[in-house]
A and B are shown apart, each in its own frame.
Chain A
Amino acid sequence: MSIFQITRDPIDLASLRSTLLDSGSGGFVSFEGWIRNRHNGREVLRLEYEAYDKLALTEGSRILAELRNQFGLSGIACIHRVGLLEVGEVAVCVAAAAEHRRECFEAVSLAMSSIKRRVPIWKHEFYADGGDAWVQCDHDH
């Protein structure tokens, strides 16, 4: 099972976890991306995510299906939030379940890298100094 979703509402982490529960899996790993209060030395007040929904869903689903096959996961899921988010909120969650932990860690890490690189979602940051910027992520953090 692989699921990629985009939501305007706060991400329901418990529900994401329960969709991956599987009696044949001994490992579950989840990653949350949070809104941080600083970026490149500037104080961040809030940010707005925007998605090209249709292509983002297609490409996100493609990434997760690839990883599910590659690592033989029992399941992998991602929910990405869009709209206006405040510091401390969860912007994205990726989780994977499999027989053993190792493939879960690897798949979640690779999923985040691929999502940041391939899925048409954009981040618009608003700073305490009154400025704003469309973030361009050309490297993998």
Chain B
Amino acid sequence: MKTDNEPISITVEYFAQLRACAKKKEETHNLEQGDLSALYARLKSQYHFPLERHSVHVAVNDEFASWDTVLRSGDRVVFIPPVSGG
């Protein structure tokens, strides 16, 4: 699908089991559109993440964000698997 939007460049940082699956701490992605759900689906498929989207939270630029947040170039994204501190 062709869009009028310029491609955007974002950084994804990985923690816990998602880091173990991706085998890396972070990477840069160029996206056609800033859709967090689409990004997670793509990474889930690429790295075989065992977690469905509904059990993952997301942070953008070090704050919790909702899945309908539209990403902008330079954003830093973290997908947060179920937490287990304490």
Contact = CB atoms under 8 A, between A and B. Distances in A.
The answer to whether A and B assemble together is: yes
Interface of A: 33, 49-52, 54-56, 58-59, 80, 91-92, 112, 115-124, 134-138
B86 A52 contact: no
Contacts of A54: 62
Given A50-B15, A55-B64, A134-B16, A116 B78 contact: no
13 contacts: A50-B15, A52-B13, A55-B78, A58-B63, A59-B64, A92-B85, A116-B84, A116-B85, A119-B85, A120-B15, A123-B85, A134-B16, A136-B81
B51 to A, nearest CB: 9
Interface of B: 13, 15-17, 20, 59, 62-64, 78, 80-86
A56 B17 CA distance: 17
Given A55-B63, A58-B63, A91 B86 contact: yes
A52 B84 contact: no
A112 B16 CA distance: 21
A122 B84 contact: yes
A118 to B, nearest CB: 7
Given A92-B85, A115-B86, A121-B85, A134 B59 contact: no
A115 B15 contact: no
A95 B28 CA distance: 40
Contacts of A56: 85
